[in-house]
């Protein structure tokens, strides 16, 4: 699903250190504690499909709720990267 749809935004809400240790390809990083301040600038399309993930699922759930509260309409809590069975990239 992710590879076939370039309209999907994969959002990593972990810390920068966690992101740099490995993340889903093409994911963008906005740490959970910065979502409310940065989302509207970095994610201007409130109708875009956004898949939110973290390490275990706790932060992604909170971030998804915050994004919905900001008016984003297609936000999905993708859970934790610890359950991701596919390749991750390091930068």
Q: Choose the catalytic residue: 27, 54, 64, 67.
A: 54
Cα torsion 90, 88, 40, 70: sign: negative
For residue 29, report the phi and psi dihedrals to the nearest 5 degrees: -105, 120
Residue 54 appears among annotated catalytic residues: yes
Q: Single out the residue of 26, 16, 18, 8 nearest to residue 55, CA to CA.
A: 18
CB 16 within 8 A of CB 34: no
Q: What is the dihedral of CA 49, 1, 9, 23, to 10 degrees?
A: 140
Provide the annotated active-site residues: 54
């Amino acid at each position: 699903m992710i590879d076939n749809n370039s309209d999907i935004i994969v959002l990593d809400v972990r810390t920068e250190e966690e992101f740099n240790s490995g993340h889903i390809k093409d994911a963008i990083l906005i740490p959970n504690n910065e979502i409310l301040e940065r989302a509207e600038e970095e994610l201007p399309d409130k109708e875009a499909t956004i898949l939110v993930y973290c390490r275990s699922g706790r932060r992604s759930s909170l971030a998804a709720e915050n994004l919905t509260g900001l008016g984003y309409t297609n936000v999905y809590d993708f859970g934790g990267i610890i359950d991701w069975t596919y390749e991750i990239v390091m930068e």
